[in-house]
Chain A
């Protein structure tokens, strides 16, 4: 599947591949059709993490990518060697090993010291910024840029990598499942009785440039679900409503928060890995990008739908010219989504898009 090579313009229709594991079917729609698939009493859960500019340059030979803030205020960071974003991370040269105590200067007055080197890979270091509070955040936003991708035509600006409902900058890469969702669509669903809810999940790096490290991804990531939201979602579950996660990060957070059997609010870290055979306690459906087989994201989709159906539908998407990666098209995986018995009046008027795309 081709990557979307630039942020999408608002005029471009964004596509939605609807996959129904119960019916073992899929169909082509557009993202604006999403409200047709949700019913009053359902909930849509979004990750409201804003995207941090997480790429820092210490020198031409050394880029640091912030991975996650630790409880002690240090940042676990990935070191990359010579080269810039035009080179895929796996082709970047290995950086020279940093020693504990080394000082790093990133410009704009931002400086840090290496506090520890990860025992598993010397590419992973824990750094402590020398600034604190507002001085730190001001300098960080001046010195850092968003993480860039080799398949994009032009570098991304901070505006390009934010979801329109984002708040705290916890994510180091765009939680991209929410990117195609406009408020027009969200408000239409809310007006029909769909609950819009949010949690914050610190979505981490998608790739490190080192196969052994990539195999360990995702690392433990922090998330926060308010007690109030957890209670609302429990009520929705109790009343038979469906909970649709927007993105793999929301799935991980909600499932981690319901490991005890009941969805609980709180701020925690999770390294929960989901895949084929995982039983989902909270999430009923998923909105996501179209991920490639072999990635941890694809494995997570397999918690929602069997591999054969995913492969079959994604091959169809590829033939139909769907785009993938951060600014690509979306899929909705939801049991019963393509059930001919409509859950709502709009569905009756909708029709299957397999036809719609061909006729337009």
Chain B
């Protein structure tokens, strides 16, 4: 998919990989709607994109809340037109330090599923119908290697990401014939605030830079060879990549 001029919505865009994706896609000419729970947190990202001549708008929404979904999609399409590129990047780890399942409160588990799984379902549900009608659209789901490996302590988050991967595949199966592509990406371990919250002892030097990962995800979005329904791992995660 051509990125220049494409109406794009990125959730969780105020920091980490979401911020890096916003800057990368903004540089490539996407017309962006950036989403976060807090507008002030989005301001610095907006300013950087606009200063570089990019087009970006900021909207506040809690992806875990059904009532926030139509206000988000309505405001976003009013600002940039029907969304052609939807990037589900926002994630909730649940309480940190991460806990064993037996120590996980039911409400915390539900909240993680609400943000990481139900939010992407609901948002795709209200945006992908127009994509299917127009026969144009790409949906990207940010996954994790915790979705395929049963790490201790990562329960709620890992379960949500495993389900998100499968959600992505089913969108691909159901919408592929209508020209809508869906895939998921495991970005690897990155030097982000979220990674520090989950694994505070990790050495940042061993972690990938979000901007490098963002450039590789942008390449997956552009490439027509990117398989519909695929799950991709970003390569060369070293800090020097």
Contacts and interface: CB of A to CB of B under 8 A. Distances in A.
B81 interface: yes
A138 B127 CA distance: 18
Nearest to A137: B75
B75 A168 contact: no
Candidate in B60, B83, B130 with the most chain A CB atoms within 10 angstroms: B130
A50 B77 contact: yes
Contact of B79 (A133, A163, A196): A133
Nearest to A163: B129
B132 A165 contact: yes
B57 A196 contact: no
Interface stretch (B65-73, B160-168, B184-192, B213-221): B65-73
B129 A198 contact: no
A52 interface: yes
A167 B60 contact: no
A169 B177 CA distance: 27
Contacts of B78: 137, 168-169
B59 interface: yes
Nearest to A200: B82
Given A52-B74, A134-B75, A166 B130 contact: yes
A168 B133 contact: no
B195 interface: no
A205 interface: no
Interface residues of B, number: 30
Given A48-B133, A133-B57, A141-B71, A162 B126 contact: yes
Interface in B77-123: 77-79, 81-83
Contacts of B129: 163-166, 183
A140 to B, nearest CB: 8
A187 B126 CA distance: 17
Interface in A37-67: 46, 48, 50, 52
Given A137-B59, A164-B129, A198 B134 contact: yes
A138 B132 contact: no
Interface in A284-340: none
Interface string A133-172: 1100110111000000000000001110011111111000
A122 interface: no
B205 to A, nearest CB: 38
Nearest to B122: A159
Given A159-B66, A168-B78, A134 B58 contact: yes
Interface of A: 46, 48, 50, 52, 133-134, 137-138, 140-142, 157-159, 162-169, 183, 186-187, 190-191, 196, 198
Interface of B: 33, 39, 57-60, 66-67, 69-71, 73-75, 77-79, 81-83, 125-127, 129-130, 132-134, 177-178
11 contacts: A50-B70, A134-B59, A134-B75, A137-B78, A141-B71, A142-B71, A157-B67, A166-B126, A167-B77, A186-B133, A187-B177
